[in-house]
Structures are given as structure tokens and as C-alpha cells.
Structure 1
Amino acid sequence: MKKIHFIISLFVLAITLSCSDDNTTVDLESITAPTNISALTTVTQDNTGKVTFLPKGEGVTQYEIYFGDGTATPAIVNPGATVTHVYKEGVYQSKIVGITLDGKRTEAIQEVMVSFKAPENLVVTITNDLAVSKKVTVTAKADFALFYDVYFGEAGKPDPISANNGESVSYTYQAAGVYKIRVVSKSAAVKTTEYTEDFTVTLVNKPSTSAATPPNRVAKDVISIYSSKYADVPGTNYFPDWGQGGQGSSWAEFDLNGDKMLNYIKLSYQGIALADGTSVDVSGMEFIHMDVWTADLQKIETSLISKSNGEKPVTKDLVANQWNSIDIPISAFTSQGLTVADIFQLKFVGTPWATGSVFIDNIYFYKAPSAAQTIQLPLDFESTTLTYAWAGFGASDFGPIPVSVITNPDKTGANVSNKVVKIEKPSGAQVWAGASLSLDAKVDFTKGTKIKVTVWSPKVGAKILYKMEDSNSPKDGNGNPTINVEVEATTTVKNAWEVLTFDLTSAASFNTANPYDRVILFPDFGVAGTGTIYYFDDIKQF
């Protein structure tokens, strides 16, 4: 169990480090508070109660360890080093403090269970990662245990990996197959408790999450070939085959929880053909976009095929096991002499040839819209031409919660605008239920690093969590972008509008260089749904 607290020093130092032949200036104002503070706690199996702490964190130059048993003086530990302490039998609340060069401190409270009983009621969960091939995660928890060791059973890797009781540890194998995974749960007792399972490690050969939702565009700015966002060119054949089935290539339309995408299997070359006699003039467009996912292809070659003068290819590298957002300038084809006023086919070629599979979604030509036609900050939801595609999440079954743009139901006080966002938090909704909106452009922080949101809450004291994400950043184990920033504010009135302020600079993860392109609102964050309704409006920088 960990509880995280941030303690920021009230002053900033400026230190200049010098030596006889070199001058180095350290800008301490750029140093942020440490993050991800924790400690691996292990204990010897000899009934002595000797516990070893291995503190961990980011941005740390030194740790303090408070043992929680009445020992007044903390242990000072350098990064990568350990410290031991002998406990009597009992449960203790230790404190691990990470310290930066200029004295900023972040602390984590961590429970230390010291028991001279062997672990009991061991429960082990082993899962394949849904997004990363051959990656396995183990979680083990037992009564009286402090930590556990996992032997993953891969040849040449005899040493175990340790984790705190109840926490998870992951490992990526060199090859798929069946491995004997052994978990040894340990307390301070001589006797340990074990669990062994023959586990099948798998390759990830299909996406577990959808590609990013395309931005809102008006009809004249996009020509869609395959997407659920825009109106596609009618009569298009997505699997003309062109004789490639004889080489083992095949195709399917893959359905991921209602999100359909093209799947070309053992891709030699496959493609798309518009209806007979149909072609599209993309000379007024600036890019062709597509989202591509693969577990095993290294490259994909995309060709536009003209009725009048043949085809020209452009090749792009692919990163496995994630969505690759590809935008190819139309000029990359016209510079090769291709006429793009009569495109009637698209062709895809895989590298290596006829070996790997590829999933493709959101294929469309587009040009940059004017600022007035885009979803971007500030947001007031008053446009009659834009579609504000809010996506709710976190219902009791983990599905979407209701969210919509409606007529302002309470034109009084701080908000007399016409349109607002309505987010319902139904009974039983998850504590993290909320709604997200993808932006058409990354946030420009020259316009300010604080956010104002006009909020209508049914109660005083509701936490409103404001979050922004870089939707294209690598995903965590739950499929969420790892580059994000979160700031909380609390409502002070009920059944009335008020303006809440979110200072992004107060979050250690915030960086103006990050291309944040998604806004997320969490009403009554940390509290399960009770059937309440919240309204939001006027999301603005200052």
C-alpha cells in the first residue's frame, strides 16, 4: 500500500559548479519534484526480521528511509543502493522520501509486513500483455507475505525477479511458447509458499485498442476511402485481391468491439478499388492519411494509381505492436510525375513480402481546415457546423457513460451561453468515469498554462479532474497514453455555475513541449456514480 505526497521547497537555489578547466551551470529552476517513489522490500527467511529496502524513483539524487518502528534517524541511501533494518514481528508504515539536487522532496508511505508465519492463501494471476508480444505480467498476493520471487522459466535466465506482495512484475520472453513459471511467496519465516504453472506465452497478432479518432472536418476538406468518421466514397471494393490469394495472401474486415478495420493477411500486395468508372480528384488535397497496426511487418508501401498515368509508391517504416499514424504528402506522389486528378485504386505492399499481416483504418485524403473549422482550445460548444465528438467511459460495466452537447439548462450567474456539455455519472459508474474530446490541433501554450472551465455541480466538494493527453504517445498497460497531465479542482457551490481554475504547471508531468491533443473531464473524481449530472462549458487557456 502506498500513499504519495508531494513536498516542494519554497525557494529555488542557483548553484554554479566549477573546476579548474571547466565551468558547469546547473539550472535548478528546471528541476521538478521526484516521481514514482517506491521501494522493493525483501526479508531474509530466517526468523530474524531483517528487511532490505531498495528505493526507486525518477529525478532522485538521494533517498531518506524512515523505518516506521520508532527509529528516529532516517537512513540515507543513494540511488541504486540498498539499506537493511531489523524489525520485530508486526506491521509498519515505512516512509521513502526522494530528494532532488535542489531539495525538492516526494514521499511514499509503504507498508512493511514482518511475520514469522509462512505465507498463506497465495493467489497468483498470470496474464499475457494484450498490446506487447511475449510480455507476461505476474501478480501474487498472500497473507503474512512481504514479497515474492518469480522464476519465469526461460533458458539462460535462472535468476528470479522480485516484487512486493500484491504488486505486479512483468517480463518479455525471447520467443513464444510454453514456460514453467514458478512463484515463491516469502515472509520472514524459514518456510516459503510456492505456486507453479505451465503458461503459454503468446504473440500479439492483432490490435487490442482502436486507432485515434480522426478529427472533425467539413466535407470539402476530406475525401474518405475507409473510415467510420467521414462519408466514404460509395461502392468501394476493399478486397479486389488481384490474384494474390494464390500466394497465400488473404483478407478480412476485423471487428474490434464494434470498430471495424481492414486486415490484409500475409501481405504481398493488396489494395482498394473504387467502383467501376469512378475516380477521385485529390489534387486539391494535401495529404493521404491512414492508421496502420502490425505485429510483424517492417515497412508498408502505399501506391496511388491513376487512370491516366499509372502508379507511384511511397514507403513508410512501421513500429510493431502499436498504431502508426501515417500522413503522406500528395506532393510525394506528384513529384514522381503522377497525375492525382483521377485516382481509382490504392495498393499496399508489405515488407517482408507475403509474410506479415497488417490492420489499416482511417484511410482518407485531407487538407488543412481553417481555424474556425477545428476543434481546439478555447472550447465553447457554440458552433453549428462542428461535431463535438465527446466519448464517455467508466460505466459500471466499463462501457461509455452518457455525454452530449445540449442547450444550457441553467442560463444564470457565471454562464448564460447557449450550449454546454452534459456528463451523466450513472449509479455504479466507476470512480474514474468521465468523457474525452480529441482536438484537431495540439494545445498552444503560448496562450497560457492555466485552464478555466465553467462547471455546474449538484454538490459542494466534488473533485473535478482536468486531464490532457498526447494521444499518439506510447500506451500503458491499460491502453492509455503515457504522456499526460492531470490537475484537480473542487467545486464550492451546488446547483449553480462557477469557474474553476486548473494550473497545469502545478503537475510535475506537465511540459509545454508535449503535443497534448485530447481533453478529458472527470466529474466527482474518486467517487462512484450515484446517478448525478454535471455540466461543463468554456474550456479556455489564460
Structure 2
Amino acid sequence: MKNIKYITSVIVAALVFSCTSENDLINLDSLDAPTNISALTTVTQDNTGLVTFLPRGEGVTRYEIYFGDGTTEPAYVAAGATVNHTYKEGIYDAKIVGTTLNGKRTEVIQNVVVSFKAPENLVVTIENDLAVSKQVNITATADYALFYDVYFGEAGKPDPIAANNGETLSYTYANAGVYTIRVVSKSAAVKTTEYSKEFTVTVVNKPFASAATPPNRQASDVISIYGSKYTAVAGTNYFPDWGQGSQGSSWAEFDLNGDKMLNYIKLSYQGIALAENTTIDVSGMEFLHMDVWTADLEKIETSLISKTSGEKPVVKNLVANQWNSIDIPISAFTNQGLSVADIIQLKFVGTPWATGSVFIDNIYFYKSPAALIEMPLDFESSALTYSWTGFGSSDFNAIPVSVVTNPDKTGSNVSNKVVKIEKATGAQVWAGASLDLDSKVDFSKGTKVKVAVWSPKVGATILFKMEASTSPKDGNGNPLINVEVQAKTTVANSWEILTFDLTTASSFSTANAYDRVILFPDFNVAGTGTTYYFDDIKQAN
């Protein structure tokens, strides 16, 4: 009988014990129960009903297989090994049990079909994977079948790969191209059922992750053309075409799970046009930034177009299948004689011409900030805009928050400007306000945070929170990397300094890039129409 190559997910546990000290002993209690338990079941095509089980799983040191046909004793199978069992014709519920070294068990029931009829009604689905280049996913289902073999038609790889009937099998080719894929569905019968198709294997030609989130910037330090981070120039036309549609070039706004980006398809040249009679002066900026993703372009040429002095290009090489973060000095344009005081358009040209597609996001001009919103925060700077965002009103929208004149310049806080948060009647128990920092918090300055608080009552819980804004999000869209610490007010209608020791929170790490501070006044209590003031958010040891 020919050899069969199987795709398996077998974990082989190799444990080495040392007697040198107690510290070398393995903590068996820490081992989790096995996961992803199943078995690849194949059968010989000779009407004997001889089925081979290849159990699979993660964290398994030994398997037990109960065959489901009345056999009382299970078969014990080591990780990576197989066991044979002869069935009569019928449908059986086999039980596969995976066991860890510490005795934790996971079991699954798997249907085993043993039929001496050839497979019928074979249905095969062959698809290019949407996320992995040159990967093909195949699913084959047939009546009376137990498993199927797939011959992928790649040179030098003649052996088939097997999968259970109805399971999906994935295979990655070395090169894109056209291949003859043959699927052979098998039961216990001598006769098999086949399906064959010429299939074009492709590379992934669109991004499946977003570009890096741009940093927080003051409005005066950035002029945005496209992207969700900053407010873009109003009325901009991102697809003016300029006659390129006749060459096969086209465009779309690609939506990646809510993150939109520009997509220029078969890019000859396409561009961006500001609204009629609109120009922007970028002479005070230092760089043009954009994030570019492509599967097939080698280069992108970017031109700024001036109302009075024409256009000048800058060419950048691109790395395929990843985001290219591009920063072009404004001087690269002005050194060619271009005036950047009256920019009306941007133009993109692809190399090779009119063949590749490109995705572009976060197009903006920027300069180094004159001042930063960073710890410590005292809200006194006239050069900065402290853009606090309130949340948690009775209708789940923003609660009022603003930087105002200190209404009580006495005691521990006689500064001029403070933050006012109004917890209106009916506001959510978690209502509060957040502020994005322009740089991550430097914990060499201390892991405690002191905040000046003015509360209308004694015993109000103040929750102080920091987040890493670019970390992955939870189901509510909140960053998963965060730290929360609480303190209670001890005086009413007067300023006091509350201390929040971040090290008391198990989630805290100085390695995390926290760049957002959040204040929750009277946390866990619904709004009653009260006002809280905050100031001087600073670190201490």
C-alpha cells in the first residue's frame, strides 16, 4: 500500500528531570488540560473495515481511544503514534481522550463512518486564503466517506495529504500559479470518488492589519489630508481620476474592519485634489507622512502640486506585503524649486506602470512640536490645547469637561487653570474624561501619581486610569493594556492631593507605553448634577 502523508498537530512531550535541587522540579499543577483533541481517521479501500486512528491534540502525553463498537477496553496511544481497529459496516461514535502528565483529561466524540459503498455526492470547495499568500483551503464532503486525499499538483511533491471528511485542509504553495488539484474521497469500499480542477493560486493582495496608529499631535503641528487620527482638510477629493480610468486604473476606499484607507488599483497615476479654490501652506511643516501597503508595486512616486510652481516628485522603494511608513522631508520638494505655500493636489505614480495596486493611509504633513502634552500636567500652557474627551452621560454620550479658571484658588492649589468635569444628573456610574498625551509616560520620574482634586463631598471614589492607546482593543473598543487605581476624597468643597500608587495594580508595568490618562469622579455612583475639579497630575516616588 502506498505511503500517506498526514497533516497533524501533534505535541510530543519530552520531560527531563533533575535531582540537583527542589527548584528544578516541574510544577505539574500548572499544566492545563489538553486542547484541540481529535483524530485523523483513514480506512483501507478493501472492504475490510480496517480504520487507522492518528490522534491529535495540544498538551497531550497519552491518548485513550474508545472505538464505540462495543469493544470494552480502550486503546492507549502515545503522542504521534497510530492505532488500527477493524469495524463492521456502520456509523460509530468513537471517544478520543487526551491526558496530560498531571492527569488532566479532555475528551471528544468523533463520528466514524465505515461504509462499503463508494462515496457519493462529493462536494469540494477550493479557495485562496484571504490572509496568507499562496495558501489554499480545501473542504471535501461526501456521503459514505470517512476521509479524503488531496494531490496539490506541485512539482516534487507527489504524495497526497489526508483530512477527515468535511474538515478543511490548508496547503501553502511555494509559488503562485495554476495547479491541477485532485481530491480523492474514500470510504471502506474498493472504489473511490474523485474531483479534479485547475486552480489559480494567488498572493494576498490586500492588507489584513492596519498601519501603525499615528502619534498624538497638537492641531497646530499637523495638516491632515487623509486618515482617522487627525481632522482632514475639508472637501478633499481622493479620486479625481484625471483620465486614468481609461487605462484600466481604478480606485476604492477599502474598509478593514472599520479602518478605512485609500486603494488605487492598477496604479498608473492617481491623486488627491483639494476642494476648488482651496490651497494649503505646508511651508511651516517638516515632513509629509503616509503609510503604504502593496503586494506588487516596487516603487511609488509622490508629487506635491503647487498652484503657482507646478509639481515635483519624490520616489520611494516599497517592501511588499507589509506597511511602509514613509516620511518625506518637505525640503525634498522645495530643493527642486517647488513652492509649498499653495499646495492644491498630491499625485501618486506606481512602478511598474498601471499593473499594481497600492493602499495608502495616514497622509499628513507634520512638524516637531514646540510643546508637548505630557506628564506632569498643569494646564497652564497657552501654547497647548488640552483636548479632554468626556464620556458616560445618561444617553451614553459625552459629559461636559473643560479647562477653566480655578474657581477656588486656596489651600493646596492656587494655580490659574484646572480641569472641570460635570457629572450631570443621570450620568453613568463610570462617567469620566480622558486626555491623550503626546508622549508615553516615563516612569523613571516615579510610579505614583499625585492629583489635586476638588470634590463636593467626602468619600467620593476617584478612579485614576492610564491606557496604552495603541494596544489591542477589547469588545467595547477599550485598550487592553491599562492600569486603574482608586482613592477616596477626605474633604468637601476644598482642594486636596490624592495619591495613586500604580504599583498596587497587578496590571501595571513600567514597560507599557501608557499615553492616555483618564479620570472618573465619584466612581460607581450615578451622576447627581455635581461638579469636580482636577489639577496638577504629576508623578512621584
Query: What TM-score bracket applies, with the shorter chain setting the length?
Result: 0.5 to 0.7
* Structure of larger gyration radius: 2
Contact 2:124–2:139 (CA<8 Å) still a contact in 1? yes
Amino acid corresponding to residue 381 of structure 1 in structure 2: F
> Residues of 1 paired with 2:299 and 2:76: CA distance?
50
Partner of 1:443: 480
Q: Structure 2: how far apart are the matches of 1:167 and 1:514? A: 41
- The alpha-carbon deviation at position 335 of structure 1 amounts to 12
SS in 2 for 1:442: coil
Q: Which residue of 1 aligns with 2:97?
A: 97
Q: Which amino acid in the other structure matches residue 90 of structure 2?
A: G
Once the two structures are TM-superposed, the CA of residue 141 in structure 1 deviates from its matched residue by 1.0
TM-fit CA distance, 1:122 = 1.5
In structure 2, C-alpha distance between the alignment counterparts of 1:55 and 1:283, rounded to whole Å: 66
List per-residue Cα deviations over 1:494-536 (Å, max 9, x = no partner). Answer: xxxxxxxxxxxxxxxxxxx999xxxxxxxxxxxxxxxxxxxxx
Tell me how far 1:195 sits from its aligned partner: 1.8
SS for the counterpart of 1:18 is: coil
Residue in 2 that maps onto 1:278? 279
What displacement does 1:148 show? 0.6
1:339-394 deviations in Å (ceiling 9; x for gaps): 9x97957787878898743112343579989795388x9x99352489xxxxxxxx
Residue by residue, what CA displacement relative to the aligned partner does 1:264-318 show, whole Å, maximum 9, x if unpaired? 456699765757773366989999564x4322347879899999xx999897975
Distance 1:79 1:346, change over 3 A: farther
Output aligned runs, 1:39-188, within 5 Å. 39-188=39-188
Residues 64/249 of structure 1: CA separation in 2 closer, same or farther (3 Å cut): farther
Question: Gaps (5+ residues) in structure 1?
Answer: 1-14, 387-410, 420-434, 449-512, 516-537
How far does residue 142 in structure 1 lie from its aligned partner after superposition? 1.1
Distance in 1, matches of 2:25 and 2:52, equals 37
Tell me which amino acid in the other structure corresponds to 1:253.
W
Task: Give the direction of change, closer, same or farther, for the CA distance of 1:235–1:165 in structure 2 (3 Å limit).
Answer: same
SS of equivalent to 1:124:
strand
Among candidates 366, 373, 398, match of residue 383 of structure 1: 398
1:373 is matched with 389
Go from structure 1 to structure 2 and tell me whether the alpha carbon gap of 1:63 and 1:35 turns closer, same or farther (over 3 Å shift). Answer: same
Q: How far apart are the structure 2 equivalents of 1:282 and 1:144? A: 73
Conservation of the 8 A alpha-carbon contact between 1:313 and 1:333: no
Query: Following TM superposition, by how much is the alpha carbon of 1:185 offset from its aligned partner in structure 2, in angstroms?
Result: 0.9
Partners of 2:342 and 2:325 in 1: how far apart? 17
Aligned to 2:251: 253
Pairwise CA distance, 1:146: 0.6
Residue by residue over 1:423-473, the C-alpha shift from the partner in whole angstroms, topping out at 9 and shown as x without a partner, is xxxxxxxxxxxx99663x63236559xxxxxxxxxxxxxxxxxxxxxxxxx
- The 2-side partners of 1:196 and 1:305 are apart by 54
> Matched residues in 1 for 2:278 and 2:204: separation?
40
C-alpha deviation, 1:251, in angstroms? 5.3
Q: Return the alpha-carbon distance in structure 1 between the equivalents of residues 48 and 400 of structure 2.
A: 72
Q: Contact 2:252/2:264 (CA < 8 Å) preserved in 1? A: no
Distance 1:20 1:123, change over 3 A: same
Counterparts of 2:36 and 2:512 in 1: how far apart (Å)?
20
CA RMSD of aligned residues (A): 5.6
Structure 2 vs 1, CA of residues 108 and 374 (structure 1 numbering), >3 Å: closer, same or farther? farther
Q: How far, CA to CA, are the matches of 2:331 and 2:475 in structure 1?
A: 37
State whether residues 399 and 431 of structure 2, in contact with CA within 8 Å, keep that contact through their aligned partners in structure 1. no
Q: 1:43 and 1:444, CA in 2 relative to 1: closer, same or farther beyond 3 A?
A: same
Q: Could you tell me how far apart the structure 1 residues matched to 2:106 and 2:71 are?
A: 20
Residue type of the partner of 1:124? V
Letter in 1 for 2:479: K
CA distance in 1, matches of 2:154, 2:42: 23
TM-score by length of 2: 0.53
Aligned twin of 2:377 = none
The whole-number CA distance in structure 2 between the counterparts of 1:285 and 1:104 is 61
The residue identity in structure 2 corresponding to 1:156 is G
* 1:262 is aligned to 2:277: no
Aligned position for 1:232:
232
C-alpha contact 1:382 1:418 (8 A) present in aligned 2: no
CA distance in 2, matches of 1:64, 1:169: 25
Aligned pairs, how many? 385
Deviation at 1:48, TM superposition (A): 1.7
Question: Secondary structure of 2:155's match?
Answer: coil
- Structure 1 CA distance for aligned equivalents of residues 172 and 195 of structure 2: 20
Measured in 1, the distance between the counterparts of 2:347 and 2:476 equals 30
**Alpha-carbon deviations, 1:100-139, whole Å to 9, x = none?**
3433333222111111222122222222333434332221
* Alpha-carbon distance in 2 for matches of 1:237, 1:252: 14
Going from structure 1 to structure 2, the CA distance change for 1:135 and 1:23 (only over 3 Å counts) comes to same
1:1-21, CA deviations, whole angstroms, 9 ceiling, x for partnerless residues?
Answer: xxxxxxxxxxxxxx9931579
Cα distance in 1, alignment partners of residues 228 and 63 from structure 2: 51
Partner SS for 2:117: coil
Residue pair 2:223, 2:232 contacting (<8 A) in 1 also: yes
Matches within 5 A, 1:247-396: 252-256=250-254, 261-264=261-264, 278-279=279-280, 290=291, 292-297=292-297, 318=319, 320=321, 324=323, 344=343, 356-364=356-364, 373=389, 381-384=396-399
Aligned counterparts of 2:216 and 2:117: Cα–Cα separation in 1:
64
Contact 1:289 1:362 in 2 (8 A): yes
Give how far 1:182 is off.
Answer: 1.5
* Residues 180, 197 of structure 1: 8 Å contact kept: yes
Alpha-carbon displacement from aligned partner over 1:32-59 (angstroms, at most 9, x marks no partner):
3332222111111112211111122223
Q: Matched residues in 1 for 2:301 and 2:76: separation?
A: 56
Check conservation: 1:216, 1:374, Cα contact below 8 A: no
CA contact 1:16–1:24 (8 Å) conserved in 2: no
- 8 Å CA contact retained: 1:314, 1:333: no
Cα 1:32–1:364 shift into 2, 3 Å: farther
> Using the alignment, how far apart are the partners of 1:284 and 1:373 within structure 2?
27
After TM superposition, give the deviation of residue 240 of structure 1 in Å.
Answer: 8.8
Tell me the amino acid that sits aligned with residue 114 of structure 1: V
Deviation string, structure 1 residues 145-197 (Cα, Å, up to 9, x no partner): 11011112222221111111111112233334333222111111112111222
In 1, Cα distance between equivalents of 2:129 and 2:363: 28
